[in-house]
Amino acid sequence: MRELRMLLLFFCLPGICSLPSYCQAPQVREVAITIDDLPAATRGSSGTGVVEMTSKLLQTLRDQKVPAVGFVNEGKLYKWGEVDARIKALQLWVDGGFELGNHTYSHMSLNQSNLKDWEEDVVRGESVTRLLLAQHNMKLRYFRHPFLDTGRDLQTRREAEAFLVGRGYHIAPITLDAWDWMYAGVYEDAKNRGDGGLQQELVKSYLSYSDDVFAYSEKLAKQTIGYEPRQILLLHANQLEADHIGELIEVMRKRGYRFITLAAALSDQAYGLPDTYVGEEGTGWLDHWAVSLGKPPQNAPVFPQWVIERSKNLALPQP
Ligand SMILES: [Zn+2]
């Protein structure tokens, strides 16, 4: 028996795993977490609510030792009577050892505006974030395109990228996205109405759909670029994540993920691959690479229609 165990151990060593059915260790995967639309992607929260939501979200990330970068829309700070609380929510990020990036001042789409206006919106979104980062000797270095809209034509895309690089930014791509924002609005409404049953149903669906999206994206990456890169996950600053990000982290750990910084993820050579994607609709970088290679992705998991219907009925805006 002991010999058999030794034999199995030998065959299950990394690199010589020739007996896959006996090898229980999951594949090692890496992911960086990014959270958009700070201080909050929610509509109805008060300043105090935003601080509480942020504290809860960051507490779980700290407990789980998961690094994250939060992307700010400074326009969301200026709500009458709540400015101090909303800036405090951002302060919690940097005081907690997390980093902030720019997501434009007003969440402006590059596909729906002219380049000059968009560039002004990028610059306008820097002031408070720069001050907060400076308190911790950090510089503003990451930028995330709102709606993942990178430009409707290649010239605009490249000019915008040159502008961002000129201002010292690294563009933060994403490769994993399970549309948490679509769940979050419905979840928040259910929570406000005290509908615990619906909340549970939404969380179950969100975690299961996320797992499907991760499996699909891992496969798509292998098909497109030949391996799974260090992934970058897109989430949003909302009550759903504040309440349940721990369970999402658990789903990812079960898939073999360990959590790395955005800087570590961006060191993957995949993020330097040819990318000529342009389109009306923003999308993730796995799609960018697939389209650039002339192999548009197929068979993506279908987002649950019932959640879309409920979201439509609430007339929730897309973040
Ligand atoms: Zn956003």
Take residue 112 and report the two structure tokens written for it. 């729906």
CA–CA gap between residue 299 and residue 291 (Å, rounded) = 14
Cα(235) to ligand 1 centroid in Å equals: 9
Position of tokens 């992911």? 31
**pLDDT mean over 184-191:** 96
**pLDDT mean over 197-213:** 98
Cα(141) to ligand 1 centroid in Å equals: 17
- Please tell me the predicted confidence (pLDDT) of residue 319: 60
DSSP structural state of residue 222: H
Could you read off the pLDDT of 140-187 as tens digits, one per residue? 999 999 999 999 999 999 999 999 999 999 999 999 999 999 999 999
Strands 99-102 and 231-236: unpaired
Cα(104) to ligand 1 centroid in Å equals: 9
Could you read off the pLDDT of 121-136 as tens digits, one per residue? 999 999 999 999 999 9
Cα(207) to ligand 1 centroid in Å equals: 21
Confidence (pTM): 0.91
- Please tell me the predicted confidence (pLDDT) of residue 14: 43
- Please tell me the predicted confidence (pLDDT) of residue 49: 94
Cα(109) to ligand 1 centroid in Å equals: 9
Cα(318) to ligand 1 centroid in Å equals: 8
Cα(2) to ligand 1 centroid in Å equals: 55
Cα(103) to ligand 1 centroid in Å equals: 7
Query: What is the helix (H) or strand (E) element at residue 68, kind and residue range?
Result: strand 68-72
Q: How confident is the model at residue 18 (pLDDT cuts 50, 70, 90)?
A: very low
Those residues whose C-beta lies under 8 Å from the C-beta of residue 211, and which sit 6 or more positions away, are 251, 255
Take residue 150 and report the two structure tokens written for it. 């990178």
Could you read off the pLDDT of 20-75 as tens digits, one per residue? 444 555 689 999 999 999 999 887 789 999 999 999 999 999 999 999 999 999 99
Cα(79) to ligand 1 centroid in Å equals: 18
- Count of all residues that appear for the chain in the document: 319
Cα(118) to ligand 1 centroid in Å equals: 14
- CB distance 238 to 45 below 8 Å: no
- CB distance 168 to 140 below 8 Å: yes
Percentage of residues in the chain having pLDDT higher than 90: 85
Q: Is the pLDDT of residue 9 over 90?
A: no
Cα(76) to ligand 1 centroid in Å equals: 11
- Please tell me the predicted confidence (pLDDT) of residue 1: 40
- Please tell me the predicted confidence (pLDDT) of residue 146: 98
